[in-house]
Structure 1
């Protein structure tokens, strides 16, 4: 040992070396616990990111809509006024340009895109399909939904008289890039469009229903000249969608739907998954703490004479306390290093084995370096806390009684 090392460090490492078998077992045990926590954290994070990415691949984080038309009163009856629910027709957001400019200035919002959408029919030859016509400004819309990255044939070009279709709809119509398709919105307005691209958003329903055109073309076809039916938003923090939606609704008086609200069951499942994972990690950490504490308690009992001799030679209670706290911290740190290596191995095996039939990974798992640093700090802290009780017991030993055994 170097002469400049503190007395507590020398004694702590010597105690650990003397009980090699016990020390090795508890370090390996801590390593296994840390590897489980790190592996579960990385796996759950990757799984949730993949699920959210797939869910939001074809929808925005928040949609701002016109207010619903209120029910009208038909007549009074003995049971009160008789109301008839008003049929909801396609309407534009009132003064939508001002609303958009207001939303752009909100720090929580990453991107804003006006949209004009409504029902229509796509006709080609004998094929007639009910579709959703969506008019967009591509330069703004791709910041919310990466439509340009989902083009599998042709390109995302939406000039006047041009459209982009989903691959399922194109198959149903028997059409491809360069072919013509007739769009009829059912209000005596129709137009013949040239297909410039086919997209695949990973959702069969969306691929078989959506037709994207330029915003001005949709406004004309849907009789929304100069208006938009919704404003799509992208957020910096997707989990704050509901809070931001409520804030926008309160400030604008418009109807605002977040992805959390429209996917309530999915979000509830994610929350339950996260809570159950945290519970499992808590109990794994608790078992690691009890393992370290039990080994150090045994160490105090086995080394009571050595502790008594050290106390008789002038070691203070504080030094004895620090010796066993150091042992707990060293065990936790070494265990976290072993656990991090095991977790990295498990994740490498997962990437190699969990693949789709075409060889692509089932979902991407990215391990942040901070996760290993947090694991090391957490395991060391757990080790120190677990050593607190045996350390206090060692510090309180009477040197005479300890030497007598």
Structure 2
């Protein structure tokens, strides 16, 4: 294969050039893609399922990032914002919550005149394909526009076309099931009111729901750690509050507490959680394999096995901090090349395998590792990592910088991939149910 084989078709001769690039998702990485497209003068449309920018982050906006600002801001986005008078100075040195990232960075970015008019809110992407082609047809495929079917808030379904597609739709709304088998546990539909999505605001908006209750948290990553720490504080403030931590591996601590971690806030998570466990505030049930769920009085019963023996845990609520997986149903008519294990792009998967890599040991990668047989289609951001829990925002920003350079025909810039990540010890390695390695 030569460099010419890797280059996109000449824009000057491309009949698709009049069509916009379609970006799915107006989260941090989707907006970063937009900023890079703005700088390169490429037209685009952003499809956002929510009513506002960064709709998923707003759902866990109370949670604090462990990355400093420099790892949370996309360089192209920063240049556009600073040209409008925005300044980073006031935020330097602060550990931000998700909501602060939205208010202080993402919302202003989405309001820029170069980006705002191109965002279509309450527009959910249902499917991606090619005009007049299912995935089995090959002749003329690369010359056919992409077709994206969308649904609006009023239920109206529409189809739009584009020259390329950047899928930055994330994974927060598609969590891994609670069952250790990877399937939804038997009986889950009978107790759905007692199952809570990852990262609930246990000390704020959701406090009443958890106060005085027994909560079982399932998962071994940073999402679980944040929730357990919040619930630990709640036990001291609200009588009758109890916390049980269910993990499927023998070891209880799966988050970094190393003094060598270059992200101090991340190391503090492990330290604080370890103290709660040692003090008996968080009761750990390790080696627990979940099989089914049942109603139990006014609560929920978690039924499974522990070290080969039947085991049962009764609780009022279960928090599913089991990590996330990509929604691939919308891409059934696109020719993808995904790893069999983590469901990430095949060339990227070995670089992010959670059995081998932490957040800080992922190699630089760009369009080459993200490409699929479907020319002009890319999955980026958290979704590009499939089921691997090691994603950092700065990684996604470098991904879209490379991808947009490739779309612009700038193979030199697209191939010049650089990424400096903070070193870490353990980052949810060894347990694919561990949750997300949040930025």
TM-score after normalising by structure 2? 0.21
- Structure possessing the higher relative contact order (Cα contacts under 8 Å, 6 or more residues apart): 1
TM-score after normalising by structure 1? 0.22
